[in-house]
Structure 1
Amino acid sequence: MIASVVLLASAFASAGAARADDRSTTADRAFAAAATDAGRARTVDGLPALVLDAHRAGGLEARENSLSGIDHALDSGVVDVVDLDVRRLGDGSLGVMHDPTVDRVTTSTGATSAYTREEWQALTLDIGSWLVPEPEPEAPPTLAEVLRRFGDRTVFTVEVKEGLLDEVAALLRDRRLTDSVLVNTNEPDVARAVHELGLRSHLWRTRTQMRTDDPRRWAGWLDVVDVDVRARRALLEDFVDSGVPRVWAHTVTTRAARDRAVRLGADGIVTDDPRYVAGLTDRYPASPTVVTVQRSPRTVQVSDRTEARVVVSSESGPVLPEGQVTIGSRVVTGRTVARPRPGVSTVRISAAAAEKGRTRVRFVVVAGSGEERRWPTGRTSVRLRVAGEDLQLLPSPTTDGRVLEVGVRLLDSAARDYTGPAAERGTGVGTVADLARAGLRLQVIRDGEVVHRQRRDGADTGTTGDGAGRVVFTPYEAEQRGPHTVRVVQRGPVYRHVVVEQEVRLG
């Protein structure tokens, strides 16, 4: 593997004169040449100068966190380290799984902590249906099972999701693997505790965390620091120069990201697709596109807007920054208005064409490809509650003997003259619904009995779109003189239910 580092360094030293695809091809050859050394190390100290780490056992190319995935990684000939996740089961056993629940990767549901070891071994993994050939049915492993089967064949890095240091330490000591397994965490204090227990420490950091980190403070006790490959160049170089013995980069799924990481001094590549990143295949592994609504849209009035936050990622892989989120619904529309982080979209949703009630908002990412990545179509949906727009009704009945004429002024909650409780003015997003979709019903009541009914649609009779209108009902001649009640009701599909009453005397 040392020869491969020299080859890479030579390639990147002449980066200014070489084309990017030429440099990547050279790196492909270097990683492929390293296959003669890959997987030979049995301890952390025996790892080669340039390391390829199969994240979740290489979850884009094999079933993540599984025995078959580990077999696939080791059979690749390019993997030096296998990366796994560990969670505590209900009886204290250590199960290998990334998520806190089994829902995403098995045919069952529930928290990982709800299962005993015996129940765990009866589960069936169903993640990886896109793989060709599709893996055979298998149970999720325990950490003890993984170490019993593979502990003397490769180096592992195990991320402890819920503490678990004492349990992991006891298992590693019992199997005499304290120098063959890195214990991984995102918390510096936990990483230091790992070191103090006599284990090999591995700390990963996000791009945001790196901005305030001082990795030099960790150099005396940290074995591996694992940095975000998307971080700025200066940050990556600070970590490379920190004195920590090994600096790896995560999560690398393209050769362009691989080349950048190595060019800036990283000596390890953490990847979901080790065969592709190492140049053994030119086919990018396209797992299903996962569209996740991280923040659901709030209840919205007809004609108004709300927002949702949507994450686009690959199943068993990283986020997809290139995936464009669209709205695939008939009665609501939307568009992406911001991308606060790679793979995360803020989608603004308009209910201008909706009616009050509940509707489904479908978020769609159409199949596509970037410079290297390719992905299939992905979709998900959430329910959106659409409340009726507030409408103020101001009836103005006039009488002439027994003849009653009722005019009604309509004011949308965004109208200038609206004085009701739900005024939209000052919100910066005040919008007017369609007054023509207001359904008005006139009822004339005498002695508790409705003696006359009429219907009229609303109308925008002022400046178009100002939310103000007026409707006049056909005059009604009462059969009897005396007190009557004029009731006007709004029952249309876009405005909330409104009832106003006014007393008049006829005759």
Structure 2
Amino acid sequence: MKRIGAMLAGMGIAMSVFAGTAAAETADLSSLVSKQEQQKMVNVAHRGASGHAPENTMAAFQKGFEMKADYIEIDVQMTKDGELVAIHDTTVDRTTNGTGAVGDLTFEEIRQLDAGSWFGPEFAGEKVPTFEEILDGFRGKTGVLIELKAPELYPGIEEKVAEALIERNMHRPNNAKIIIQSFNHGSMQTSKELLPNIPHGVLAGMSWANVTDEQLAEFATYADYFNPNMNIVTHELVAGVHAADMRIFPYTSRSQEQAFRLFDLGVDGIITDFPEHVYKHPVFN
């Protein structure tokens, strides 16, 4: 009897060890699955990794690339003499040491400005980059999400963007590594006609919180993405966008909690100032 009891005790210990090992393996598998799901999330560095470097500068774009973002997002406008430059505001006042509207300044005037010191002394001397410099610097290295900023101020900007892409043979399908978007939806229709093989997106502010299925279907006739303000994103909106055969990249996540929320809502990508937030989603069972 003692021998049988010892055998049973041994078996119990062995089963406990086995159960513990199995539980650990299950936990590891859960973690692996979570990581795999996490890797499907498209990580878009907003104006470059703008939480770490001055927005829309080569330093910010390089930082986004180094942080392994899938795309760098850039804002494109046009100078008085027709040069395409990357800057968000329609004036240079906030992000440079100059003043005036982008469209009232020549490229040479804008090029003389310091676009980095406002963010930190270590970025003193950063310049406003040209659209072509960004394309040449990052094509083949990371995706580029191009926002046409206030294109109604710059007649012909859609054609100029198209020319720059075609000149570099970047207008052909290449794993969707070029996307063009704008709040000006008419501009996106024009751009799509010029570049039919490049995915396009419509940006949507708070006023689109109650967008209808019919409106989404209309967008889908020329757009591949519906990219809204993150505050209007719901499970229903995500489902509606997907039902219209579009993808959804909300903007702009600036905290880990905001990234978590968007992840849980099932969006396809997150436009963020901090690319590292998209890589830190916790394990969900």
- Please say whether Structure 1 and Structure 2 have the same fold, judged by a TM-score greater than 0.5: yes
Note the C-alpha offset of 1:76: 0.8
| Equivalence for 1:151 | 139
CA distance in 2, matches of 1:53, 1:172: 20
Written as runs of structure 1 = structure 2, the 5 A alignment for 1:169-184 is 169-178=162-171, 179=173, 180-184=177-181
Q: 1:119 to 1:232 in 2, by over 3 A?
A: closer
- Aligned: 1:231 with 2:232: yes
Paired amino acid for 1:58 = A
CA distance in 2, matches of 1:183, 1:172: 11
Structure 1: give runs of 5+ residues left out of the alignment. Answer: 1-25, 35-48, 281-507
CA distance in 2, matches of 1:129, 1:207: 28
CA distance in 2, matches of 1:273, 1:32: 19
Deviation readout 1:226-252 (Å, 9 max, x if unpaired): 122211525423434333332112111
| Structure ranking higher on relative contact order (CA contacts 8 Å, 6+ apart) | 2
Q: Which residue of 128, 133, 142 corresponds with 2:130?
A: 142
Q: Which residue of 119, 124, 129 corresponds with 2:119?
A: 129
Paired amino acid for 1:182 = I
| Equivalence for 2:41 | 50
Written as runs of structure 1 = structure 2, the 5 A alignment for 1:423-462 is none
CA distance in 2, matches of 1:165, 1:31: 37
Note the C-alpha offset of 1:128: 4.9
CA distance in 2, matches of 1:122, 1:103: 14
Paired amino acid for 1:50 = M
Deviation readout 1:328-357 (Å, 9 max, x if unpaired): xxxxxxxxxxxxxxxxxxxxxxxxxxxxxx
Q: Pick the structure with more strand per residue.
A: 1
Written as runs of structure 1 = structure 2, the 5 A alignment for 1:20-35 is 30=35, 34=39
Larger Rg: 1
CA contact (8 A) 1:226 1:249 kept: yes
CA distance in 1, matches of 2:150, 2:108: 21
Paired amino acid for 1:203 = V
| Equivalence for 1:96 | 86
Deviation readout 1:113-145 (Å, 9 max, x if unpaired): 232222322221135535xx8324221101011
| Equivalence for 1:269 | 270
Q: Which residue of 87, 95, 108 corresponds with 1:118?
A: 108
Written as runs of structure 1 = structure 2, the 5 A alignment for 1:370-449 is none
| Equivalence for 2:11 | none
Note the C-alpha offset of 1:259: 2.4
**TM-score, normalised on structure 1?**
0.43
CA contact (8 A) 1:100 1:112 kept: yes
Q: Which residue of 46, 59, 68 corresponds with 1:68?
A: 59
CA distance in 1, matches of 2:246, 2:145: 16
CA contact (8 A) 1:250 1:270 kept: yes
Deviation readout 1:196-223 (Å, 9 max, x if unpaired): 2124212111232131342122234312
Q: Secondary structure at the match of 2:60?
A: helix
Note the C-alpha offset of 1:276: 3.4
Give the length in aligned residue pairs: 237
Q: Secondary structure at the match of 2:243?
A: coil
Paired amino acid for 1:231 = I
Note the C-alpha offset of 1:166: 0.9
Q: Secondary structure at the match of 1:249?
A: coil
Kindly report the root-mean-square deviation, in angstroms, between the aligned alpha carbons of the 2 structures: 2.5
CA distance in 2, matches of 1:93, 1:277: 34
Note the C-alpha offset of 1:170: 0.9
| Equivalence for 1:166 | 159
**TM-score, normalised on structure 2?**
0.75
Q: Secondary structure at the match of 1:103?
A: coil
CA distance in 2, matches of 1:65, 1:175: 21
CA contact (8 A) 1:57 1:83 kept: yes
